[in-house]
Amino acid sequence: MDIMKSFSLEGKVALVTGAAYGIGFAIAEAYANAGAKIAFNCRGKEHMEKALAAYAEKGIDAKGYFCDVTDEEQVVKMVADIENELGTIDILVNNAGIIKRIPMHEMSADEFRQVVDIDLNAPFIVSKAVIPGMMKKGHGKIINVCSMMSELGRETVSAYAAAKGGLKMLTKNIASEYGEYNIQCNGIGPGYIATPQTAPLRETQPDGSRHPFDKFIIGKTPAARWGDPEDLMGPAVFLASDASNFVNGHILYVDGGILAYIGKQP
């Protein structure tokens, strides 16, 4: 067995949702560098133009599709268009997601539903759309971007934690239901990653000090830093490649050790 060849994605078609920037962009870039053809979605023209320019700057010929991943009709059309233009989808990364940091007793039911719709219902909708093609082909990889909030709770993220906990179990159930078709479904659980979404938690305070949450995360993480999107590249390639063909229903936490650490004694 050529172990290095087993990590290659040469000729594979990968759909990464929400890959205009941040974690999704880094994963798509890693897949392109490993030989895959890249498709991604955006909902708006401005994001699409910026994303295409960013991919072009990296020398990546990514194909962008306008699609709201919570809309099943739009998703079915996007998947059909990708299959017609690039081929059957071999790799799906359900990365699109949002977070609303609102105390639960102040959060409206509509706000809760919006987070669950994007973070949990959308992965169901997109996975459902690609699985038939994977079944027909006899192989496929689905990677759901979970979170440490799949395991832990914290103030102000009730909807996000509920959705990511559900996504963890959806991951396990897809693995259980479609493993016999040689489809592997796993999750990546990022720790605290330095992205635009987490930027407010890292802002320098008016007095020049670090944000209290920034200091909290550094103190709780054995690696003593926030993760970078690039830290997710290797794990994402592994889970998308033949090197992980007997890994199924697993959540790979890329968190600098935070889930393993009880913290320093005061």
Q: Give the catalytic positions in this structure.
A: 160
Task: Count CA atoms closer than 13 A to 222's CA, side-chain side.
Answer: 9
CB-based burial of residue 12 (10 Å sphere; 0-12 exposed, 13-18 middle, 19+ buried)? Answer: buried
Spatial separation of the C-alpha atoms in residues 31 and 8, rounded to whole Å:
9
**Residue 88 host element (H or E):** none
Cβ-defined contacts of 83-87 (< 8 Å, 24+): 83/133, 86/13, 86/37, 86/39, 87/13, 87/37
Spatial separation of the C-alpha atoms in residues 31 and 111, rounded to whole Å:
33
Residues in CB range of 41: below 8 A, 6 or more apart: 15, 17, 18, 19, 64, 65, 66, 67, 69, 78, 96
Residues in CB range of 134: below 8 A, 6 or more apart: 88, 89, 90, 140, 142, 178, 181, 183
Give how far Cα 59 sits from Cα of 18, 56, 154, 234, 266, Å: 19, 5, 40, 19, 49
Nearest CA among 248, 100, 73, 103 for reference residue 163:
100
Spatial separation of the C-alpha atoms in residues 15 and 100, rounded to whole Å:
25
